[in-house]
Amino acid sequence: MTSNMRPLNSKKGEVPSHGRENCGVSDQAFHGKCQSCDSVGKSPHSRANGVSLKESGTCSFSCDHANALLVDGPKGSPARPGHIDSTNCDQHGCLHAKNESCMPCNDLQEESDREQAGDTLDDLFFFNDEEDDDIDWEPSARLAENRWFCLNCTMPNLDEVKHCLNCHELKGSEVAAGYDVFKTHIARAALVSADTASVLVSTAIGFDERMLLHSEMETKPNPHPERPNRLRAIAASLAAAGIFPSKCALVPPREITKEELVMVHTSDHVESVEQTKNMLYSYFTSDTYANGHSACAAKLAAGLCADLASLIVSGRVRNGFALVRPPGHHAGVKQAMGFCLHNNAAVAALAAQKAGAKKVLIVDWDVHHGNGTQEIFEGNKSILYISLHRHEDGSFYPGTGAADEVGVLDGKGFSVNIPWSCGGVGDNDYIFAFQHVVLPIATEFAPDITIISAGFDAARGDPLGCCDVTPAGYSQMTSMLTACSEGKLLVILEGGYNLRSISSSATEVVKVLLADGPSYGTDAAAPSKEGMQTVLHVLDIQRKYWPVLVPIFASLQAQQGQTSSKYANAENKLKRRMLMGGPGPVWWKWGSKRLLYEILFEGRRPRKSKARGK
């Protein structure tokens, strides 16, 4: 997941790159400024409890100039992937009316009218006039002209281009079109819960359609990367592969309770998310949005993750896949950021411990560091957090996750960060890091359950991650982790913004959970030079806390030394030849033979020495 807000460990004014530069689209294209009112990508707004409250009539691309730039649809209502048609909500059963915290779809217009009539929300929040420092990620209105945004990866393209330059998707193609097939199967899926499970269920899936109602309501020409179609695309892929509902059970959804959330977040943070249900839309940061349904969606996501973890630890379910949003690993103790509202993995870890797990392993392979998860557990030695992510010396969002961030107090050594120094990292580097860092530490830790924060934004073609992990790579990493806790594995969806990539990758991961995936050998992967350097750096730091890494570090260091010596010897030979002169046979280097060569073959007069030339 990503955001352009200032990183937690940076100086004010420094903004880590989100990685789009490797995709050929400059960051300038994503830092918007309204051309009519000179407002930088967002409307004037106030803040309270970390929430930006937006009212009708403010700018934020709603002025006349912006309305002229909408890609499709009538003025004020652009075509946006993932927005639910309120006229079809009851027909499709996308709302559970029993849950009072989730507004019905057909009430959105009434809610909008009520706010426009003068409900300014002053009675709900204490306002201050401090402006947000964040830089908006959305493209400028100027660049929205004569552009179309790919429905698969959200990247902008010129009108004359028919296939997306980033993911090669055909203009206007609908990737999540097969979701309706998945939807028809929901009613026929077997349900599993603590009360109903009498036999062991192989794989359970956590999903609820109300999470699709969490979407960006503000009128903008470009789709937000974290959009409802992410879930639809994965669901459609699972149905097309014959995985759901025939091979998986479904976990009954429930909203997480406040008592469970305050074990992870502060009560102020929980309340600030809850209050968004009273607003048409709001922003915690420039790219972390909420609407009237977001509090419900976030509580559903956390509740599904908690119940899946409990079912797995109790032995009623072997493993599970949480098909949830909004994502969670950036949400810290007291802040929402990076598209995340509540930390789903953290809630699941504590639920697993409540169900009887003494030790929990969290492996986070999202391309962005899970700063929220690390913050929550950095002093807890019963929960081991391992993250593989782009870092680039803190210039990649969120700027945290350096190799020397190892935890604090009793938790030292229980935060393991593998920070890639560049983009483009692929399967071999990830597998190599798993073989030499992740699995040795995990085996020594011996967790009772393994939770994967499975962001698929390191996948090939992702617009924000710009890395090169394939579905086979994700499948192999999942397979390698199944042995860590005797198969008790919970996979929780985090980021991933190329619909083709996340759907194919998630499907391969679920196949591994079902034991339907391909088997992989144990051959050592050949990492890139940068990948080897990163792994060696991590081993050098973590061997102080994990003795199992000491011989691994020594072995790799020796191999690296031999390789370096071989290259150094070849380079030294080349340098010696260059220093001895220009072209010509080797024998010319000595005495009179060199003079003879210069006279006969090059027609040059012998060069005088410095002594003779004085």
Which residues are annotated as catalytic?
330
Residues 505, 473: Cα–Cα separation, whole Å: 9
Residues 402, 399: Cα–Cα separation, whole Å: 8
**φ and ψ at residue 141, rounded to 5 degrees:** -60, -35
Name the burial class of residue 425, with classes exposed (0-12), middle (13-18) and buried (19+) by CB atoms within 10 angstroms of its CB: buried
Beta carbons of 137 and 245 less than 8 angstroms apart: no
User: How much of the chain is in helix, strand and coil states, percent to nearest 5?
Assistant: 35, 15, 50
Closest CA to 336 of 362, 387, 364, 375: 375
Beta carbons of 509 and 493 less than 8 angstroms apart: no
CB atoms within 10 A of CB 100: 8
Closest CA to 432 of 562, 554, 552, 565: 552
Beta-bridge partner residues of 322: 206, 492
Beta carbons of 419 and 369 less than 8 angstroms apart: yes
Which contacts (CB < 8 Å, 24+ apart) does range 574-582 have?
none
Beta carbons of 79 and 309 less than 8 angstroms apart: no
**φ and ψ at residue 444, rounded to 5 degrees:** -70, -35
Residues 541, 522: Cα–Cα separation, whole Å: 26
**φ and ψ at residue 47, rounded to 5 degrees:** -130, 145
Peptide bond into 245 cis (omega under 30): yes
Where residue 413 falls (left for φ over 0; alpha for ψ -120 to 50; beta otherwise) is left
Closest CA to 294 of 324, 315, 273: 273
Beta strand 281-285 pairing with 288-291 = antiparallel
Q: Where are the alpha helices (DSSP H) in 315-363?
A: 344-354
Element spanning 502, H or E: helix 499-513
CB atoms within 10 A of CB 512: 25
Closest CA to 362 of 439, 299, 449, 302: 449
Structure-block tokens of residue 33: 């400024």
Determine the residue type at 50.
G
